[in-house]
């Protein structure tokens, strides 16, 4: 970029309109600055003349508004029911300019055509670099000869901006590739799991949510879900905690100077008898002998320079500001030129940074100006070059003040507080540590050791300006080794162990930072999404609790045995993306490895979807849609309409079918045997049937409804190749043909042979007109699965189990809703048959329910997960469907197995 020659046109593009305006004002010095409208009324174009290293330039400064492009699937994959969610791991994706950004694109097109250079003023982080390459793609499409240059700056102040434009560099393709990889990974994983969760659960349960049920989306994000996992895991720790009583000996001594409190060096004992014996020994020989006196100087060091995470944590701790609000206010202060760029991982200043000049800016402040003067006075010895925390993102310095302000009239209280925090933090980190004198005294009482400590602050130093921290201490009397005295008080006190507190926002940010979840620029977004999705709530003390929905989702994946809610997977992804950003790994390599791993997790989760259903059933009532309109899972593409998929579902009568998702426009359906009690779509694909893929279904048949020789469990295919399935349809017939979602004529699949049950003889009574599953003899003859009998050993009324044949004894329920009602349930641990006695006359065959589920589902015991009741009152009893208490669960307050401790009537007494 040597100077001289004719004037060239330079297109400058900033990330936001406010930044474009600020940079244009600084470079032009507000002389000869002209403003005109672009295609977008929000993104003005500023024109002025300038010289870059002696080269005369006519500068055109405009802006985008964040990302110019969006990554999405091609049109045929964008609709939720257009494909199997597993296909989204390979589906084609594309980056396009969305409709609401087209005016910005048109402005760039028009201006780029008449320019020779393109200078990019995007934020100097990975995300900004990615936006820069989006601008490059748009501008290069209309002008291939553009010279590309990048301006790197950290603050909107004259010195930084002029230095940036005179030292332009090349854009960083590695940074942009790292963001592209993250975007594609998040899109594919998020879309597949979100569609899976939402289609599986939304219509099956009455979900309490801040969102209208019709628009409810159960989203999954690779960063969002591990963040939720931290909240749920801490909540489970609290719920699992059982208080234990302990005992400790407390010793105090008052002198003319002050009073000292000595702590028992054993801490405490859980054995009351041992504690009493030791206490009695001390009472009998109460004379205390000083065994050690240690005096030493202690230093309390100032904080490291301010990074984004520390800014968010401290604003939350000191002001109870949310991380989202903190970043919004910090962005405003940055764009106004008062602080440096607020998104940085760096917590150490470069040796080239003029720290004294930054302090000089603050000399005139009415509150901390006097402290700044003391810092700059060499005679005070208050100045100290700041130490660093060892993190440097090589892009931006730590957050620091860039311009003096005694308070702008337009600022909110949050603006004033955050600016004050940044300034005071900066002044503190260039100050000497606080100095204190600490005395520790150890004494011996009847062989038991006690200690007390006191502190006197000798020099406050940085604490004078950093009012957010204190260094408390107490003054204790003077003691000498060998000195003896009698205690003023000597008591045996009891206490109770307490669980850890709920995670605060500062705690949660620390967990995310330590595990590598998200980046400094995105962590607050992940937290906000949890609140927006109603997966978690935050109280007035900024502490997080999971909602029923958030806990149920984490519980479901945890029960599968997969740690999708743990940070491990995302931490690996973030590490790989960092490797891309420094050129150690390629974007393609990281994408291939990560997506292969996550697709395997997705397929496993889908096979084990029953765990999610069971977890949701603990917290939420099942909806009518679950009984009559279950959404189903994709089995294959529809062979009739060729535009939608065939899914496994139940019809209105509870019978399984595979029907087209485009019903009622397309009525293609495959009717499955009426003897099917369970059916689950697996990830296995049939090797014979075309067009594929055709996913195999794991069937479970009712033993008494299929002939001998057929297995109760069968992995079958509805594509036409399954001879076993065809025979069972011929022998047993199909279920009722009232399709889910509507009534009317249906079309059967050409791949499976269908038979009219009215033309087929029942295998039990040999009569036509009904299937074996509807045979009247099953309710009156010797094969009646629900006929009353008597247990020969006990004399109790019983019926044979429809699944395993074991006699089911008549019992009486004691739940609140069904007290005194009679029912039959199977005694086998492997079988879940259940039937109300009064349903037999109505022709009900009984049903299988999960072992240990509650007829009044409330909390779940075990692993400390009993924290919420799904909207039920505190009087909910925790019993199984049989009315028996849940095994191994009890109230730890009174020992009663009918409730947990938070509902105990004796709690607090």
- Confidence at residue 769, expressed as pLDDT on a 0 to 100 scale: 53
Q: What is the DSSP letter of 622?
A: B
Q: How many CB atoms lie within 10 A of CB 323?
A: 26
On whether the CB atoms of residues 261 and 523 are closer than 8 A, the answer is no
Distance (Å, whole) CA 251 – CA 247: 13
Task: Give pLDDT tens digits for 258-285.
Answer: 899 999 999 999 999 999 999 999 999 9
What's residue 567's pLDDT?
81
Residues 6+ apart with CB under 8 A from 681: 606, 633, 634, 635, 648, 695, 696, 697, 698
Mean pLDDT of 68-76: 93
Of residues 370, 468, 368, the one with CA closest to residue 423: 368
Report residue 592 CA to chain centroid gap: 24
Token digits for 602?
């997705």
SS3 491: strand
How many helices (DSSP H) and strands (DSSP E) are in the chain?
21, 31
Q: What is the pLDDT of residue 21?
A: 93
Tokens of 69: 């492009």
Q: Which of 365, 364, 387, 363 is nearest to 374 (CA)?
A: 363
Query: DSSP assignment of 359-380, as one string?
Result: HHTTTT-TTTHHHHHHHH-GGG
- Please give the sequence-ordered ranges of beta strands (E in DSSP) within 255-338, or none if there are none: 259-264, 288-300
What's the chain's average pLDDT? 82
Instruction: Say if residues 411 and 329 touch (Cβ distance below 8 Å).
Output: no
Give the C-alpha separation, 418 to 33, whole Å. Answer: 33
- Please state, in angstroms and rounded to a whole number, the distance separating the CA atoms of residues 633 and 645: 9
pLDDT at res. 861:
38
632-683, pLDDT tens digit by residue? 578 888 877 766 778 888 876 778 888 887 776 677 888 888 888 888 888 7
Question: What are the tens digits of pLDDT across the range 523-582?
Answer: 999 999 999 999 999 998 899 999 999 999 999 998 887 677 788 888 888 889 889 999
Side by side, the strands of the sheet bearing 489-496 are: 484-485, 288-300, 434-445, 448-459, 259-264, 245-254, 489-496
Q: Are 372 and 419 in contact (CB under 8 A)?
A: no
Cα-flanking dihedrals φ and ψ of residue 664, to 5°?
-95, 0
Q: What is the pLDDT of residue 637?
A: 83
- 126-141 pLDDT, tens per residue? 889 999 999 999 999 9
What's the pTM?
0.68
Measured CA distances, 795 to 201, 258, 783, 789, 809 (Å): 44, 80, 21, 9, 10
Which residue is listed with tokens 């069972």? 728
**Residues 746, 748: Cα–Cα separation, whole Å:** 6
| Residue among 877, 888, 758 nearest 815 (CA) | 877
- For the beta carbon of residue 743, count every other beta carbon within 10 angstroms: 11
Crossing angle of helices 505-515 and 308-319, in 10° steps, is: 160
How far CA 612 is from CA of 212, 307, 865, in Å, comes to: 22, 39, 15
Give the tens place of pLDDT for each residue, 16-53: 999 999 999 999 998 889 999 999 989 999 999 999 99
| Radius of gyration (C-alpha) of the chain in whole angstroms | 36
Query: How do beta strands 668-671 and 676-685 pair?
Result: unpaired
Residue 833 dihedral angles phi and psi, to the nearest 5°: -65, 140
Contact 430, 244 (CB under 8 A): no
Catalytic residue, from 235, 279, 334, 341: name it: 341
CA 517 from chain center: how many Å?
10
Tell me the sheet residues that pair with 657.
649, 671
Note if 479 is an active site residue: no
Rounded average pLDDT over 625-637: 61
Q: Which alpha helices (DSSP H) does 608-752 contain, by range?
A: 609-619, 624-628, 723-732
Q: Is the pLDDT of residue 607 over 60?
A: yes
Range with the largest mean pLDDT of 61-75, 400-414, 775-789: 61-75
693 preceded by cis ω (within 30°)? yes
- The b/e string for 38-69 (b: 16+ C-beta within 10 A; e otherwise) is bbbeebbbbbbebebeebebebbbbbbeebbb
pLDDT of 652 reads 67
**Could you give the CA distance from residue 20 to residue 43 in angstroms, rounded to a whole number?**
9
Listed in sequence order, the residues at least 6 apart from 406 whose beta carbon sits closer than 8 Å to its beta carbon are 364, 365, 366
pLDDT band at 907 (very low <50, low <70, confident <90, very high): low
pLDDT in tens, 101-159: 999 999 999 999 999 999 999 988 888 999 999 999 999 999 999 999 999 998 888 98
pLDDT in tens, 735-748: 654 443 333 333 33
Cα–Cα distance for residue pair 524/520, rounded to 1 Å? 8
Percentage, residues of the chain above pLDDT 70: 80
% pLDDT > 90, the chain: 50
Distance of alpha carbon 703 from alpha carbon 684, whole angstroms: 25
- Amino acid 212: pLDDT: 58
pLDDT, residue 702, reads: 87
């Amino acid at each position: 970029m040597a100077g001289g020659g004719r004037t060239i046109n330079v297109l400058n593009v900033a990330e936001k309109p406010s930044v474009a305006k600020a940079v244009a004002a600084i470079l032009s010095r507000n002389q000869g600055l002209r403003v005109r409208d672009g295609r977008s009324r929000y993104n003005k174009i500023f024109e002025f003349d300038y010289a870059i290293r002696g080269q005369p330039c006519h500068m055109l400064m405009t802006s985008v508004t964040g990302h110019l492009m969006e990554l999405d699937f091609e049109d045929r994959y964008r609709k939720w029911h257009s494909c199997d969610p597993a296909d989204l791991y390979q589906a084609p994706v594309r980056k396009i300019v969305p409709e609401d950004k087209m005016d910005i694109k048109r402005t760039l097109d028009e201006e780029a055509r008449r320019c020779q250079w393109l200078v990019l003023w995007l934020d100097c982080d990975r995300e900004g670099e990615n936006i820069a390459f989006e601008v490059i793609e748009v501008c290069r499409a209309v002008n291939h000869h553009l010279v590309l240059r990048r301006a790197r700056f950290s603050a909107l102040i004259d010195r930084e901006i002029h230095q940036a434009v005179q030292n332009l560099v090349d854009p960083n393709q590695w940074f942009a590739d790292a963001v592209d990889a993250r975007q594609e990974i998040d899109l594919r994983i998020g879309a597949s799991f979100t569609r899976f969760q939402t289609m599986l659960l939304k219509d099956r349960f009455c979900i309490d949510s801040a969102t209208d049920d019709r628009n409810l989306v159960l989203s999954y994000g690779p960063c969002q879900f591990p963040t939720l996992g931290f909240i749920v895991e801490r909540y489970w720790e609290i719920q699992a905690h059982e208080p234990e009583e302990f005992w400790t000996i407390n010793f105090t001594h008052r002198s003319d100077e002050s009073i000292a409190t000595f702590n028992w060096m054993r801490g405490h004992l859980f054995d009351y008898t041992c504690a009493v014996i030791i206490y009695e020994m001390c009472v009998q020989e109460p004379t205390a002998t000083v065994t050690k006196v240690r005096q030493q100087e202690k230093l309390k060091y100032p904080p490291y320079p301010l990074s984004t995470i520390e800014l968010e944590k401290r604003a939350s701790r000191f002001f109870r500001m949310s991380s989202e609000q903190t970043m919004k206010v910090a962005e405003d202060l940055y764009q106004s030129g008062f602080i440096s760029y607020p998104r940085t991982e760096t917590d150490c200043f470069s040796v080239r940074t003029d720290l004294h000049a930054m302090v000089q800016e603050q000399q005139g402040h009415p509150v901390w100006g006097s402290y700044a003067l003391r810092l700059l006075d060499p005679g005070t010895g208050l100045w100290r070059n700041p130490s660093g925390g060892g993190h440097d993102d090589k892009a931006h310095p730590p957050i620091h003040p860039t311009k003096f302000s005694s308070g702008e009239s337009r600022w909110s209280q949050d603006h004033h507080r955050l600016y004050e925090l940044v300034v005071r933090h900066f002044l503190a980190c260039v100050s000497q540590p606080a100095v204190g004198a600490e005395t520790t005294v150890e004494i011996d009482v009847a062989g038991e050791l006690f200690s007390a400590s006191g502190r006197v602050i000798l020099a406050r130093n940085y604490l004078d300006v950093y009012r957010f921290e204190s260094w408390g201490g107490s003054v204790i009397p003077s003691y000498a080794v060998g000195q003896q005295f009698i205690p003023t008080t000597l008591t045996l006190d009891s206490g109770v162990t307490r669980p850890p507190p709920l995670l605060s926002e500062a705690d949660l940010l620390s967990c995310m930072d330590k595990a590598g979840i998200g980046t400094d620029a995105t962590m607050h977004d992940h937290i906000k999404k949890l609140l927006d999705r109603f997966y978690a709530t935050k109280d007035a003390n900024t502490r997080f609790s999971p909602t029923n929905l958030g806990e149920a989702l984490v519980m479901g994946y945890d029960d599968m045995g997969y740690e999708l809610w743990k940070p491990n997977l995302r931490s690996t992804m973030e590490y790989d993306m960092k490797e891309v950003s420094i050129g150690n790994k390629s974007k393609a390599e990281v994408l291939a490895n990560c997506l292969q791993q996550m697709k395997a997790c997705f397929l496993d989760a889908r096979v084990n979807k029953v765990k999610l259903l069971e977890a949701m059933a603990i917290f939420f009532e099942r909806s009518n849609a679950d009984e009559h309109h279950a959404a189903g899972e994709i089995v294959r593409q529809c062979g009739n309409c060729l535009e939608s998929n065939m899914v496994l579902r139940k019809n209105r009568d509870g019978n399984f079918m595979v029907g087209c998702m485009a019903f009622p426009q397309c009525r293609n359906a495959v009717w499955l045997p009426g003897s099917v009690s369970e059916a689950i779509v697996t990830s296995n694909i049939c090797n014979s049937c075309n067009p594929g893929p055709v996913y195999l279904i794991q069937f479970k048949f009712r033993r008494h409804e299929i002939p001998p020789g057929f297995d109760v469990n069968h992995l079958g295919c509805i594509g036409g190749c399954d001879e076993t399935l065809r025979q069972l349809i011929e022998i047993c017939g199909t279920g009722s043909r009232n399709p889910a979602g509507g009534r009317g004529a249906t079309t059967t699949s050409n791949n499976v042979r269908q038979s009219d049950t009215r033309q087929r003889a029942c295998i039990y009574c040999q009569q036509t007109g009904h299937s074996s599953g509807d045979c009247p003899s099953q309710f009156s003859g010797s094969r009646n699965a629900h006929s009353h009998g008597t247990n020969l050993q006990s004399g109790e009324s019983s019926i044979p189990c429809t699944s395993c044949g074991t006699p089911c004894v008549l019992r009486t329920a004691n739940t609140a809703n069904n007290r005194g009602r009679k029912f039959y349930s199977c005694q086998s641990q492997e079988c879940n048959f259940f039937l109300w006695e009064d349903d037999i006359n109505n022709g009900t065959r009984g049903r299988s329910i999960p072992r240990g589920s509650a007829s009044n589902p409330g909390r779940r015991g075990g692993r400390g997960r009993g924290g919420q009741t799904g909207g039920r009152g505190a009087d909910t009893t925790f019993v199984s469907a049989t009315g028996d208490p849940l095994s191994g669960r009890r109230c730890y307050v009174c020992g009663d197995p009918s409730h947990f401790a938070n509902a105990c009537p004796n709690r607090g007494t």
